Amino acid sequence: MESGHHADQWLELDQLYRRPAALRPFAAELATKVSAHRIDCVCGPLTGGAFLAQVIAADLGVEFAFAERIVTDRAGLFPVDYRIAPALREGIRGKRVAIVDDAISAGSAVRATLADVESCGAMPVALGALIIVGARGREFAASKSIPLESLVELPLAIWTAAECPMCAGGAPLTSP
């Protein structure tokens, strides 16, 4: 996983965006949920979160922003950052922002996007996802006292590499 965690399953989320018309009702449902938090802007991490954020922002008639993925030289968990695109940074200052992603599992993209939204002087007031996978997303939202809206929640077992039972059992690493 992007966070550096290992998991017992993988969702191929890019497939969600192949047929935008099929995705639209789900985006509209999530838009209704995040709109309850009186938002001025919807922000999502590239790629899937940004695609979803743009649809939701258009549905709600609010501003849109996106965060670009930045690879760092940090080792361990959460080695990736996300930064609001330079041309959009000043525009979100003082805004009430919903941060959305297609799915939240360990939450690395949402964590980093939220941190950068705050560094721009904006106020994250809601998190949203089509799918919450596992408990870590809810735990993160609760730790920040930010509501987390979603359409569905799925179980997921995730571990650090040192805790991974599949690695301990000698199972080969596979990528999606």
**Total of domains in the chain:** 1
Lowest mean pLDDT of 39-43, 53-57, 65-69, 74-78, name the range.
Answer: 74-78
- Is the residue at 111 inside a domain? yes
- Is the residue at 167 inside a domain? no
- Is the residue at 168 inside a domain? no
pLDDT of residue 123 exceeding 90, the answer is: yes
By residue range, what is the domain housing residue 82?
A: 6-10+19-161
- Is the residue at 170 inside a domain? no
Asked whether 68 and 46 are in contact (CB, 8 A), the reply is: yes
Asked whether 122 and 91 are in contact (CB, 8 A), the reply is: no
Q: What percent of the chain has pLDDT over 70?
A: 84
- Is the residue at 148 inside a domain? yes
| CATH code of residue 109 | 3.40.50.2020
- Is the residue at 52 inside a domain? yes
- Name the residue type at position 38: R
- Is the residue at 166 inside a domain? no
pLDDT digit string, tens, across residues 28-48:
999 999 999 999 999 999 989
47: preceding bond cis by omega (within 30 degrees): yes
